[in-house]
Amino acid sequence: MGDRYPAEIHIGGPVPQTTVHDLIEAILAERASLEDYGCPPASQQQLTESLQAGTVLTLFDDQASGGQFEGLEAFLAGHGIHFERHSDAYCEFDAENIHYRGTGKPLVMLADQAGNDVVRCQEILEILDSPADGTTKLAAVRSLAAPPQATPLTPIQLTG
């Protein structure tokens, strides 16, 4: 994608110590900031200290290509490292959230500009119009609105 617009990514959960150097390199390649949108890119020292702090690592880029951290997201998913990404809406692109908790494929959800997940009314209506019983419908709506992949992100824990 050629368009550039704001995105932020949050990294947490277990991080194998053996991947820390490569993780830092992947973050540096994105030129993202630890401070806020429009701030200078994070340095290697800042990233090392942040990863060792045991908090959720948040990175910002007001000029993210396609509103994504493509290389970093691929690295994180390839190493089973938990993350969330929020991209603002831009022109014909809706705002979106990505949730990944170490297995499977990242979950893509629509989002509002405040970063909240959004469910399309049509998806809920399809569930309600299905022939399933009320308990099954309620469980399906709950799963749609609060998928397991969207559980709160835990702080980074360096492992191994």
Total domains, the chain: 1
pLDDT tens for each residue of 63-111: 999 899 999 999 999 999 999 999 998 888 899 999 999 999 999 999 9
User: Which neighbouring-strand residues pair with 107?
Assistant: 99
Q: Is the pLDDT of residue 1 over 70?
A: no
In a domain, 50, yes or no: yes
In a domain, 91, yes or no: yes
In a domain, 65, yes or no: yes
In a domain, 13, yes or no: yes
In a domain, 59, yes or no: yes
In a domain, 111, yes or no: yes
Cα gap 22→116, rounded to integer Å = 31
Cα gap 91→68, rounded to integer Å = 15
Least confident range of 37-41, 75-79, 95-99, 146-150: 146-150
